[in-house]
Amino acid sequence: MNNYFQKIKKLTQDFFKDPFFLKHWEMPYYSRRGQNDNQLSVRAVYSSGKLYHYNGIGNNFVQHMYTRIMPFAHMSGQREKYPAKVEPVSPQKEALIASGLSSRSYRTSLADALYDFVSKTSHSLFMYGVVLFELVYEKDTDGNITSFHLVHLDEKYIFRFFRSYYQVIPWWIAAKSHVRVQIIKIPADKILRIDFPKKLGGRRKLQKTLKRLWQLSKEVIPEFYMEAIKQNKNISFNFEEYDKGKYLENARVTARFGWNQSQTSVNYITEYYWFLRYLRASRAQAIVRGEIMARLNDFLNGTVLNLGTRVSIENLPTVESINEQEKLMKRGDMKFIDIHNAVEI
């Protein structure tokens, strides 16, 4: 144990003796990384901290909220049913955007690129409440951007100050990641930032929801009941009521998201309320999808790329169309299966 603390002490002392630290204590370090000389951020391994979405019910919530947010491109007819387009029409810009958004090593269509980008971004958004990308690009001799891609940044230790972001690599992260201790300045116009929509409570309320779901999934069977079973005692514990209480609490916590806990049965709620929550979930997904597309279009037309174009995916359920289905359901003018089919992707 003493050797451990001695090692920590030495690493701390080395940090404050580091030439970078002495030279740039007041001035952020501007560093270029990677094969492309305009990539500024570095890849670092951060400690996990409190990640409630990786635990039990919280993980199920995240998985089910993001998996229905976009069509499954591998299924026949999906690209035809939900086509992607660029306005104004430009085959060159469409190819540039498709290549820039796709994480695949081969050429892909704009629809596939958008499906993947929105799906993966929504996954991170439901987990962390914010997603950050650094724009990395290449130019020709005339100064025109010929290609670009978006590097995902871990939001830990990235801070914004006025018109720039700063990626901080402290010594304990640097040692683990085999990089230098440094502070990297990244201009704000190179950062695509997408925040969890305020209409759904924003990042803070999302984290509270994930934390509560984590607390509810700590015990499948209460410890006191397990002890009673071990001692062969009958304490008249009603497990069915306990399970029902957890179900209803999960439903209360996720009410704004309409999550039905992956259950198709209506043991504890009415059929009407089940479908009402189904519409809420579809509306929450439409809000998140719309936020991602809006921020992406803003970025494509920002000061760096300045493409003068907008991308979209047609025929996906919108907040307005889902609200209309809810009105019809409240009036009793439609069958439940028709409502399901109207918003299902």
User: What would the pLDDT profile of 181-228 be if each residue is shown by its tens digit?
Assistant: 999 999 999 999 999 999 999 999 999 999 999 988 888 888 887 888
pLDDT of residue 37: 64
pLDDT at 19 over 60: no
Closest CA to 148 of 137, 159, 139, 156: 137
Q: Is the model's pLDDT at 47 over the cut of 80?
A: no
Cα-atom radius of gyration of the chain, to the nearest Å? 25
Q: Give the amino acid at 39.
A: Q
13-22, 34-43, 125-134, 244-253: the lowest-pLDDT one:
13-22
Place of tokens 């709620």: 269
C-alpha 300/C-alpha 306 separation (Å) is 6
- pLDDT-derived band of residue 53, with 50, 70 and 90 as boundaries? low
Amino acid 22: pLDDT: 38
Which two three-digit tokens encode residue 106? Answer: 């081969």
The CA distances from residue 54 to 120, 250, 251, in Å, are 16, 16, 19
Q: Of the ranges 17-21, 66-70, 105-109, which one carries the lowest mean pLDDT score? A: 17-21
189: which DSSP letter?
G
> Is residue 150 a contact partner of residue 41, using CB atoms and an 8 Å limit?
no
Q: How confident is the model at residue 335 (pLDDT cuts 50, 70, 90)?
A: confident
Question: From CA 257, how far away is CA 251, in angstroms rounded?
Answer: 9
The H or E element that residue 149 is part of is: strand 145-153
Q: Where are the chain's structural domains?
A: 2-55+77-199, 203-343
Whether 259 has a pLDDT exceeding 70, the answer reads yes
Tokens read off for 30: 């501007």
Q: Which of 199, 191, 92, 201 is nearest to 147 (CA)?
A: 92
Q: What is the pLDDT of residues 84-98, one digit of tens each?
A: 999 999 999 999 999
What torsion do the CA atoms of 270, 275, 277, 279 make, to the nearest 10 degrees?
-160
> Could you tell me what percent of the chain has a pLDDT over 70?
87
Is residue 20 packed enough to be buried (19+ CB in 10 Å), middle (13-18) or exposed (0-12)?
A: middle
Task: Note the pLDDT tens digit of each residue in 289-304.
Answer: 999 999 999 999 999 9
Mean pLDDT of all residues belonging to the chain: 85
If we measure between CA atoms, which residue out of 79, 83, 82, 108 comes closest to residue 95? 108
Residue 278 CB burial class (10 angstroms; 0-12, 13-18, ≥19)? buried
Are 18 and 181 contacting, i.e. CB atoms less than 8 angstroms apart?
A: yes
Decide if pLDDT at 31 tops 50: no
Is residue 138 within 8 A of residue 147, CB to CB? The reply is yes
Residue 30 pLDDT class (50, 70, 90 cuts): very low
Burial tier of 344 (Cβ tally within 10 Å: 0-12, 13-18, 19+): exposed
DSSP bridge partners of 160: 165
- DSSP, collapsed to helix, strand or coil, labels residue 170 as coil
Question: At residue 287, does pLDDT exceed 50?
Answer: yes
pLDDT band (50, 70, 90) for residue 5? very low
* Confidence check: pLDDT of 116 > 80: yes
Q: What are phi and psi of 294, to 5 degrees?
A: -65, -45
Rounded Cα distance, 134 and 150, in Å? 6
How do beta strands 164-169 and 158-161 pair? antiparallel
Kindly tell me if the per-residue pLDDT of 278 is higher than 60.
Answer: yes
Residue 302's CB: how many other CB atoms inside 10 A?
16
Neighbours of 153 (CB within 10 A): 22
* CA–CA distance, 94 with 25 (Å, rounded to integer): 44
Report CA 123 to chain centroid distance, whole Å: 4
Instruction: Note the pLDDT tens digit of each residue in 217-249.
Output: 888 888 887 888 888 888 888 888 888 888 999
Q: Model confidence over 63-87: pLDDT tens digits? A: 999 998 999 877 778 888 999 999 9
Tokens at 239, concatenated: 């497990």
